[in-house]
Structure 1
Amino acid sequence: MDKPANPAPGFQRNPDKVITVEPYRGSVTVRAGDTVIARSARAKVLSEPPYPAAFYIPFDDIDFSMLSSTEHSTHCPYKGDASYWSVQPAGEAGTNAMWAYEQPFDEMTEIRNHGAFYTNKVTVEATPD
């Protein structure tokens, strides 16, 4: 992915930190119990070692009627500020289960309008093509 010559304010350039975003070739389904929260054949895989890879699902493929936004937020020096949503059908376990970078740094625009889910809070199933 091409990086802008002048990084966004707050973006931290680190030659030892390699983050990749690739299209996932297959489908991804997110469930809370038997309830489907998201299903997509257009997900992206973000790899950021040493963290596990995360599937980023387009907002259009997420059922936001099953989510409620929260006040929780975090900051990543490589991606920007993350907003969080709770997965209502998961109850207490679903608190802050989905995050998204709604206004990511220019270096991470590929994940704008995509959400990712914590695999310890909901079930994320990936089926390759």
Structure 2
Amino acid sequence: MWDYPRPPSAEVTPRHVVVELGGRVVADTRRAVRVCETSHPPVFYVPRADVAEGVFVLAAGGSWCEWKGAATYWDAVLYGRRVAAVGWSYEHPTQGYEHLRGAVAFYPDRVDRALVDGEQVRAQPGGFYGGWITDDVVGPFKGEPGTLGW
């Protein structure tokens, strides 16, 4: 992970990415965009066509990435229950990241399960960045105590 680039890479991967929430699969793809950036675990962006219809509603707020542009946040509504800010997307990404347009990235600690090739993902510490930690990703990671100034 320390050899990941800056600015981040963003490449389509055939790895099997599944996201479950409320006892339901809300995303399932073998064509996610894997974004890798120095000091961060990878983030997987699921193409909108592989995300369940009618589950996500626009959330309040947003943020800015110096590389990808303005982020849009999404809440999930399942069985009358609203789960705040489970994911984000770049609806109008900056040049070089156009293939992220509309794809949704999920915070692994805000869903029931996030899987990569059947392995349950662990969330990046700190609750902000949303990286996906699997056994093939080695830290330390930005977000852990004492890493704010990296």
> Aligning the two structures, in what range does the TM-score lie when normalised by the shorter sequence?
0.7 to 0.9
Q: Quick one: which amino acid aligns to residue 40 of structure 1?
A: T
- Matched ranges for 1:1-129 at <5 A: 17-89=6-78, 91=81, 94-122=83-111, 123-127=113-117
Cα distance, 1:34–1:50 mapped onto 2, change above 3 Å: same
Indicate if the aligned counterparts of 1:68 and 1:86 stay in contact, CA closer than 8 A: yes
Indicate if the aligned counterparts of 1:86 and 1:97 stay in contact, CA closer than 8 A: yes
Q: Quick one: which amino acid aligns to residue 45 of structure 1?
A: R
User: If the length of structure 2 is used for normalisation, what is the TM-score?
Assistant: 0.68
**Structure with higher helix content:** 1
Higher relative contact order at CA 8 Å, sep ≥6: structure 1 or structure 2?
A: 1
Runs of 4+ in 1 over 6 A off after TM superposition: none
Task: State how far apart, in whole Å, the 2-side matches of 1:107 and 1:22 are.
Answer: 11
Unaligned runs of 5+ in 2: 119-150
Unaligned runs of 5+ in 1: 1-15
| Identity of matched residues, % | 26
Shift of 1:49: 2.0
Deviation track 1:92-119 (CA, whole Å, cap 9, x = no partner) reads: 6x31111000000012112112110001
* Cα RMSD for the two superposed structures: 1.9
